[in-house]
Amino acid sequence: MINNEKICFSGVQPSGNLTIGNYLGAIQNFSRYSEDYKCFYCVVDNHAITVRQVPAELRRRTYETLALYMACGLDPEKNTLYVQSHVPAHTDLAWILNCFTGFGELSRMTQFKDKSARHADNINAGLFTYPALMAADILLYQTDVVPVGIDQKQHLELARDIATRFNQLYPDTFTIPTPMLAKSGAKINSLADPTKKMSKSDENTNAVVYILDDRDTIIRKFKRAVTDSDTCVRFAEGKDGINNLMTIYSCFTGKTIEEIEREFEGQGYGTFKLAVGEACADALAPVQQRYNEIISDKAFLEAQMKKGADEASYYARKTLSKVKRKLGFVQI
């Protein structure tokens, strides 16, 4: 830790259009943490290439993701916003941590199994070992807390295990990070299959609401959302579709589940779906307006990339130097 600051770290892949799941489960909450933590928010482009990318699209989405960070309220004067590949210490430390990570640990990662099934023609070593890179991302900044969705909690537990193992051999090297789960909206599910997480890679575009979808598209997608044969807006077991919509509505309006049930008592699903769509569109409108202003200024974005990379590198070099010194690497 530097100057006794508490550190917060998180990252988002530039591998597809960001969804309201990314927004509600992570990015929306990020700006709140800058009052209590020194925050590092990274565009993790190294992680993105575990799946084949079109180079021009990866470049475009890297700019877009950084612009969305800022459009969603992340002030680059209060937060360190940067691109992962601009700080080589991430991959440098990842190799070291690979040597402290068990093959069995990596093989048990749920996301490796899922991605291997979806990309059976490209089950590469990076796909297998990227949890070690994720651990490096986190541990490099002596991170205290990591805002995570439920689906990433397993990877953070592995990062904690790796840090503990390393510290047992080389004491006082890494801070052990703690997960910080959002109280609500930690997992937003698909509108087409509400038993599964909303994924930006879903081939069914009606299953996913993107942050940059226009108002009409957002409302149309919510109107088509899968529900059940009941007509009562209530949160209950077996009502996955309505439970998901109520969670989304709660996140966008700040209303509790009990308040939502009272608001829509005696009203059908059609009325409720429209209300959810309108609440979502209303909340995203200022984000979209700010995004359009930022993305049109490439020079500004590149200046922020450079500034963020310089800030992140200052912290990263300190940890990496400590690790290499403890391992016995000669440094010149």
Strand-by-strand arrangement of the 178-181 sheet = 79-83, 38-43, 7-12, 145-148, 178-181
Checking if the pLDDT of 191 tops 60, the result is yes
User: Do 31 and 140 fall into the same domain?
Assistant: yes
User: 285 lies in a domain?
Assistant: yes
User: 200 lies in a domain?
Assistant: no
The beta strands (E) that lie in 168-212 are given as 178-181
Checking if the pLDDT of 16 tops 80, the result is no
User: Do 134 and 68 fall into the same domain?
Assistant: yes
Give the per-residue pLDDT at 186: 60
Q: What distance in Å separates the CA atoms of residue 326 and residue 190, rounded to the nearest whole number?
A: 46
Q: What's the CATH number where 316 sits?
A: 3.40.50.620
Give the chain's domain count: 2
Checking if the pLDDT of 272 tops 80, the result is yes
User: Do 162 and 233 fall into the same domain?
Assistant: no
| Mean pLDDT, rounded, for 240-263 | 94
Which has more pLDDT, 179 or 115? Answer: 179
Adjacent-strand bridge partners of 178: 145
Q: What is the pLDDT of residues 171-185, one digit of tens each?
A: 999 999 999 876 555
User: Do 131 and 34 fall into the same domain?
Assistant: yes
User: 187 lies in a domain?
Assistant: no
Tokens for 193, please give them: 């299959």
Give the per-residue pLDDT at 29: 80
User: Do 120 and 236 fall into the same domain?
Assistant: no
User: Do 316 and 284 fall into the same domain?
Assistant: no
Domain carrying residue 261: 205-292
User: 241 lies in a domain?
Assistant: yes
User: 224 lies in a domain?
Assistant: yes
User: 28 lies in a domain?
Assistant: yes
User: Do 139 and 258 fall into the same domain?
Assistant: no
User: Do 90 and 232 fall into the same domain?
Assistant: no
Tokens for 152, please give them: 């990433």
User: Do 34 and 149 fall into the same domain?
Assistant: yes
User: Do 318 and 281 fall into the same domain?
Assistant: no
Active site residues: 115, 197, 200
Give the per-residue pLDDT at 182: 62
User: Do 137 and 97 fall into the same domain?
Assistant: yes
Checking if the pLDDT of 225 tops 60, the result is yes
| Mean pLDDT, rounded, for 135-156 | 88
222, 228, 231, 237 alpha-carbon torsion, rounded to 10°: -110
Which has more pLDDT, 28 or 316? Answer: 316
- pLDDT tier at 328, thresholds 50, 70, 90: very high
- Of 117, 106, 124, 101, give the one whose Cα is nearest residue 49: 124
Q: What distance in Å separates the CA atoms of residue 162 and residue 151, rounded to the nearest whole number?
A: 19
Is residue 65 within 8 A of residue 12, CB to CB? The reply is yes
User: 294-325 in b/e burial notation, b at 16+ Cβ within 10 A?
Assistant: bbeeeeebeebbeebbebbbebbebbbeebee
Give residue 267's identity as a one-letter amino acid code. Answer: Q
- Its pTM stands at 0.88
- pLDDT tier at 242, thresholds 50, 70, 90: very high
User: 107 lies in a domain?
Assistant: yes
User: Do 98 and 148 fall into the same domain?
Assistant: yes
- If one counts every other C-beta atom within 10 angstroms of the C-beta of residue 103, the result is 9
Q: What distance in Å separates the CA atoms of residue 315 and residue 82, rounded to the nearest whole number?
A: 13
User: 2 lies in a domain?
Assistant: no
Q: What's the CATH number where 211 sits?
A: 1.10.240.10
- Of 235, 315, 307, give the one whose Cα is nearest residue 82: 307
Checking if the pLDDT of 150 tops 70, the result is no
Q: Which long-range contacts (CB under 8 A, 24 or more apart) does 262-269 make?
A: 264/233, 265/233, 267/233, 268/231, 269/227, 269/231, 269/233, 269/242
Q: Taking the CA atoms of 195, 199, 202 and 208 in sequence, report the sign of the dihedral they define.
A: positive
CA-to-CA separations, 273 to 20, 39, 212, 226, 261, in angstroms, rounded: 16, 36, 19, 10, 13
